[in-house]
Amino acid sequence: MSLSSRALALVSLIILLAITGIWVGEPLQGLWRWPAVILLLFIVWERVQTDKLFSINREIAPRLFLGVPARYQQTIINHSRYPLLLDSQSDYSDSLQADPKILRWKIPAGESREKLLKVVPVALGEAALGKTYVRVLGRFGLVWWRHDIDKSVKFQIEPAMLKHNLTITGNTKSGGRNTRLRAGSGFELLNLRDYQHGDPLHSIDWKASARRQNTVVRVFSKQQRLEIAILLDCGRASLIQCGLMSRLHHYINIASRLTEFAISNEDQVACIAYADKTIAHMPMSGGISAIQNTRQLLTGLNTEVEESNPLEIALELKYFLKHRSLVVYLTEMEQAEAATQLMQAVQLLRGKHHIVVASIDDPDINNLTQQIDQTWLSPYQNFAALEYYRGRALTRNKLRQSGVDVLTACPENLDAEVLNFYQKIRESRKAM
């Protein structure tokens, strides 16, 4: 509790009356006790009533998505017969990023008010809202009474989905997928047609031919599927913050959206998380189950304490991938040792597979390269930022010279770069 300005004014008057009584003597001496007792009685009365003055409801969606802003609604209901004045402040868990500002509420008698707050999920898994601290001004405006709202409101934070994304180029120039039709070969039965000279005999549907009294063959579709291997760097450098989230969480969102986009095009996806060794692995698969398994894998990922070793995972991929695939490395490029291993890894794979390396440009570090000297540390920060970008540029140039595609962008744009690159690869394969 804390006294309001009205209560402080009354206390000051009581003190002034007590001092006057001491100076003047009887009959004013001791008179201050009566207003003091009355003030205390009113304060006690306020305290008894304050628990029944209001109630607060907190609502948030049961499923939130990593890095995607969400709405958090607070509703306060005034149960009293007079207007209420309240202040509230929310305490958020480590899984949410939001502005912990103090909100002022003025609620007429018997009514309710709502406020919508914006929160950004920044960690995966189950989470809960923190406490909401409320102080309400008593019936007589004497004391601010504090209440801590700690009713558990739980929700699940999952990797972002494709629908939360930005701008992606169309599926194909014609709006469809490239499909070749062959009789008696392929993956999916499309229809039956009359036998034509040159059709293989094993494509004949004998039962249908008997019913129609005419020779017919089965027509199947054979689609040009693309196999994609997504490799997520979970080494300790992935813990570095880029904006509101860590690098790893940005990589997780990219992997989730790329998987969903690829499966929607009926391609197949494998997802592998690694540090110094493989941490989690989803084999090459397609369909809804591939999306579900990938999202489950991604939700359980955490940054490891070891340095990442992309060469180790490349040795595994060499025997794991049976066909030519698109291999997407989501990793950093600035550390010399990791960059050297990355170069060796892509040299090992690029003969058979199409390799692309996607890495985040940190906007905060970019700002350091352009800042004007403000403190004695500024020149050193500027030099360190320039060295960081020099190392990235050197690695990027070496990778491109060796025939590897390199995508770099700020965290907000890298997923669009990766998805559009994948789309271009699909269209180039279809044009062949």
What number is the average pLDDT over the span 5-25? 88
The residue ranges of every structural domain in the chain are 1-158, 164-171+225-430, 179-223
Mean pLDDT lowest among 310-314, 379-383, 399-403, 407-411:
379-383
- The share of the chain scoring above pLDDT 70, in percent, equals 90
Comparison of pLDDT for 320 and 40, the residue scoring more: 40
Which of the four pLDDT bands, split at 50, 70 and 90, describes residue 429? low
Comparison of pLDDT for 330 and 388, the residue scoring more: 330
Comparison of pLDDT for 376 and 203, the residue scoring more: 203
- Judge whether residue 229 has pLDDT over 90: yes
- Judge whether residue 398 has pLDDT over 90: no
**Residues ≥6 apart with Cβ < 8 Å to 273:** 231, 232, 234, 279, 280, 281, 297, 298, 301
CA distance 123 to 96: 7
Say how many residues make up the chain: 432
Query: Three-state DSSP class for 216?
Result: strand
Mean pLDDT lowest among 42-51, 243-252, 329-338:
329-338
Q: What pLDDT, on the 0 to 100 scale, is given for residue 221?
A: 53
What number is the average pLDDT over the span 170-191? 45
Q: What pLDDT, on the 0 to 100 scale, is given for residue 72?
A: 92
Instruction: Answer yes or no: are the C-beta atoms of 354 and 412 closer than 8 Å.
Output: no
Comparison of pLDDT for 232 and 224, the residue scoring more: 232
Burial class (CB in 10 A: 0-12, 13-18, 19+), 392: buried
What number is the average pLDDT over the span 161-166? 71
Nearest to 308 by CA among 272, 257, 350, 254: 272
Q: Phi, psi at residue 4, to the nearest 5°? A: -80, 170
Whether domain 1-158 has CATH 2.40.30.10: the reply is no
Q: DSSP assignment of 295-338, as one string?
A: HHHHHT----SSPP-HHHHHHHHHHH--S--EEEEE----SHHH
Q: What pLDDT, on the 0 to 100 scale, is given for residue 179?
A: 40
Burial class (CB in 10 A: 0-12, 13-18, 19+), 391: middle
- Judge whether residue 431 has pLDDT over 60: no
Q: What is the pLDDT of residues 124-134, one digit of tens each?
A: 999 999 899 99
Report the alpha-carbon angle 187-322-249, nearest 5: 95
Mean pLDDT lowest among 53-57, 73-77, 221-225:
221-225
Q: What pLDDT, on the 0 to 100 scale, is given for residue 21?
A: 83
- Judge whether residue 428 has pLDDT over 70: yes
Q: What pLDDT, on the 0 to 100 scale, is given for residue 69?
A: 93
Q: What pLDDT, on the 0 to 100 scale, is given for residue 336?
A: 65
- Judge whether residue 188 has pLDDT over 70: no
Q: What pLDDT, on the 0 to 100 scale, is given for residue 184?
A: 40
- The share of the chain scoring above pLDDT 90, in percent, equals 42
CA distances to 69, 71, 72 from 118, rounded to whole Å, are: 6, 5, 6
Class of domain 164-171+225-430: alpha beta
What number is the average pLDDT over the span 156-185? 57
Q: What pLDDT, on the 0 to 100 scale, is given for residue 370?
A: 73
Comparison of pLDDT for 191 and 173, the residue scoring more: 191
Q: Average pLDDT over the chain, rounded to whole?
A: 85
Q: What pLDDT, on the 0 to 100 scale, is given for residue 185?
A: 40
Which of the four pLDDT bands, split at 50, 70 and 90, describes residue 243? confident
Which of the four pLDDT bands, split at 50, 70 and 90, describes residue 380? confident
What number is the average pLDDT over the span 14-36? 84
What number is the average pLDDT over the span 150-161? 91
Describe the chain by its helix, strand, coil percentages, rounded to 5.
40, 30, 30
